[in-house]
């Protein structure tokens, strides 16, 4: 029997070959997206991330709050083989769980029918026509009132282990849905998977050890962020991470905390627990920021050493300048990290390359450019970029970002002014672009155009941009207007497209990245769609 150990330098990928992709799913991430505009599941995130994963198929699932080994098929042969093995129950799945309740027998088998009742599932005696659910349990250890239990499900019903454990008096620690004690996570982990390799017939086992003590919120970040390439990401996202109203970002060696109130002692203690942090800053969120002096809205040092006036962070191998002394914004919106990466790899989604021939020599227009993050990534991929913004300060900041990455700013255009005004000028000059980026603020105001509100004016922006987009060109449209529902956002774009006579060839909707987790308590705010137009 061949055993494959997890690759500890890349905690997400356990093993991969031509036919199989085996991953360590973090707790807190769905297997697949639960709705069209919800957060991506691990399947969606993987399938749209790399061209070689475009044909991934789901052959088994784990609950959102369950961590552990998952296998995806990459070829029709693998999909058929794995589906048959799961259906015939020849794949051996081994789980580990913790419970703080007494387990009456050291080893036993639970067998019943499981039926759905709202959000829960119930165990019922076996009866004619019912699907049988069978789980073998074995106590591995008992320490300080907590038992570590092995669970081997013979069948694969939804919530099977959780329901059987609760039915037999030992609900899983953290499984409050089934009567378990409150805990920072659901203490259920798929520790190993043994199967016949679809191509060779060899018996292979894939394993990943359980670590219930580790903060599951940070495990999720560790699974999706490669520290060698990226050291800037969100580490606390409000209520989704158990801290309503509090948001924290890692920016290299510094943490930036944001909330409407001062930090509590508990929050400050949590921030000091992060390894490798030199300094902690806090920014008080202010709804009236436009009427506040710059010095009053800058983040304030609350712990550790002060950051230099300017310092660099790393995102997908690209460097960006940050500053805590320039007012409300520090230099980069981290929720667009995956979208900026799409320029670097020329890959929007499965079957959707950004440009068929690549970005080398392509013309990219980045409107509302801010510090030119999208422009830098497009230029790194070989494009010639035009960055348009209403702030000279941010355009100068963008030029420094170009230079920081060995790119000559003089080889690219930086335009100061109102987007609508310049769109008209560029159209008169018959300037056309292969890619246009639209990521406007929710509200902006200029002398030339007046007020822009995303909730009511986004359609006008699309109409103006389409006049500059080449045939077969790609438009990236994004908004963080929390009150603008995804359906209405897409409707505005489609209405503008129909009015312009342009036909949409490809479309891919993207929510915010997994380190900005979406939950009922912390709904999605970022909406992004990539569109290729005829």
Residues annotated as catalytic are 63
CB-side exposure of 468: number of CA atoms within 13 Å? 27
- Decide: helix, strand or coil at residue 107: strand
Task: Give dist(CA 121, CA 178) in Å, integer.
Answer: 9
- Answer yes or no: are the C-beta atoms of 216 and 205 closer than 8 Å: no
- Answer yes or no: are the C-beta atoms of 139 and 168 closer than 8 Å: no
Residue 500: other Cβ atoms inside 10 A: 16
Q: Which H/E stretch holds residue 330?
A: none
Q: Which H/E stretch holds residue 336?
A: none
Tell me the helix, strand and coil percentages in the chain, rounded to 5.
Answer: 25, 35, 40
Task: Give dist(CA 93, CA 208) in Å, integer.
Answer: 12
CA distances from 228 to 43, 124, 293 (A): 23, 50, 37
Task: Give dist(CA 110, CA 138) in Å, integer.
Answer: 11
CB-side exposure of 261: number of CA atoms within 13 Å? 9
Task: Give dist(CA 477, CA 498) in Å, integer.
Answer: 16
Residue 68 sits at φ, ψ, to 5 deg, of: 135, -170
Helices (H), 158-311: 160-167, 216-224, 265-272, 294-297
Q: Which H/E stretch holds residue 363?
A: strand 363-367
Task: Give dist(CA 424, CA 405) in Å, integer.
Answer: 32
Name 434's Cβ contacts closer than 8 Å, sequence gap at least 6.
355, 362, 363, 364, 383, 470, 473, 474
Among 359, 389, 361, which residue's Cα sits nearest to residue 373?
Answer: 389
- Answer yes or no: are the C-beta atoms of 503 and 18 closer than 8 Å: no
Name 456's Cβ contacts closer than 8 Å, sequence gap at least 6.
none
CB-based burial label for 513 (10 Å; 0-12, 13-18, 19+)? buried
Name 269's Cβ contacts closer than 8 Å, sequence gap at least 6.
none
Residue 273: other Cβ atoms inside 10 A: 10
Tokens representing 431 are: 């300037």
């Amino acid at each position: 029997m061949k055993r494959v150990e997890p690759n500890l330098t890349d905690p997400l990928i356990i093993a991969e070959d031509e036919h199989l992709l085996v991953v360590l799913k973090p707790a807190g991430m769905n297997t697949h997206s639960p709705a069209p505009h919800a957060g991506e599941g691990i399947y969606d995130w993987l399938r749209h991330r790399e061209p070689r994963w475009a044909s991934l198929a789901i052959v088994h699932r784990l609950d959102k709050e369950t961590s552990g080994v998952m296998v995806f098929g990459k070829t029709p042969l693998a999909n058929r083989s794995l589906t048959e093995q799961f259906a015939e129950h020849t794949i051996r799945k081994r789980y580990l769980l913790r419970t703080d309740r007494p387990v009456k027998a050291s080893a036993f088998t639970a067998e019943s029918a499981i039926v759905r009742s709202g959000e829960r599932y119930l165990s019922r005696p076996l009866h004619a026509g019912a699907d049988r659910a069978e789980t073998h349990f074995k106590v591995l250890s008992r320490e300080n009132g907590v038992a570590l239990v092995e669970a081997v499900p013979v069948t694969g019903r939804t919530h099977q282990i959780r329901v059987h454990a609760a039915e037999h008096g030992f609900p899983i620690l953290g499984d409050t849905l089934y009567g378990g004690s409150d805990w920072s996570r659901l203490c259920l982990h798929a520790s190993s998977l043994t199967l016949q390799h679809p191509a060779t017939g060899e018996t292979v086992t894939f394993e990943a050890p359980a670590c219930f003590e580790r903060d599951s919120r940070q495990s999720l970040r560790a699974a999706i962020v490669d520290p060698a390439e990226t050291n800037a990401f969100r580490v606390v996202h409000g209520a989704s991470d158990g801290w309503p109203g509090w948001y924290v970002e890692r920016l290299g060696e510094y943490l930036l905390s944001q909330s409407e109130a001062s930090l509590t002692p508990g929050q400050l203690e949590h921030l000091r627990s992060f390894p490798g942090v030199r300094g902690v800053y806090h920014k008080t969120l202010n709804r009236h920021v436009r009427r506040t002096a710059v010095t009053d809205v800058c983040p304030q040092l609350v712990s550790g050493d002060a950051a230099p006036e300017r310092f660099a962070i790393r995102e997908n191998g690209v460097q960006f300048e940050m500053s805590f002394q320039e007012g409300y914004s520090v230099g980069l919106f981290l929720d667009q990290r995956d979208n900026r990466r799409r320029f670097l790899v020329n890959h929007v989604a499965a079957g959707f390359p950004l440009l068929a021939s690549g970005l080398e020599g392509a013309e990219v227009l980045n409107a509302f450019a801010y510090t030119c993050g999208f422009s830098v990534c497009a230029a790194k991929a070989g494009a010639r970029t035009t960055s348009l913004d209403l702030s000279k300060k941010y355009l100068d900041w963008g030029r420094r970002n170009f230079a920081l990455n060995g790119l000559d700013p003089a080889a690219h255009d930086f335009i100061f002014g109102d987007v609508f005004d310049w769109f008209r000028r560029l159209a008169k000059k018959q300037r056309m672009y292969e890619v246009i980026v639209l990521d406007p603020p929710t509200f902006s105001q200029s002398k030339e155009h007046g007020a822009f509100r995303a909730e009511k004016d986004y359609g006008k922006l699309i109409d103006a941009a389409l006049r500059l987009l080449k045939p077969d060109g790609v438009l990236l449209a994004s908004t963080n207007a929390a009150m603008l529902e995804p359906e209405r956002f897409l409707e505005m774009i489609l209405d503008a497209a129909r009015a312009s006579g342009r036909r949409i060839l490809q479309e891919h909707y993207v929510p915010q990245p997994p380190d900005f987790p979406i939950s009922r308590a912390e709904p999605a705010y970022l909406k992004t769609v990539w569109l290729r137009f005829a």
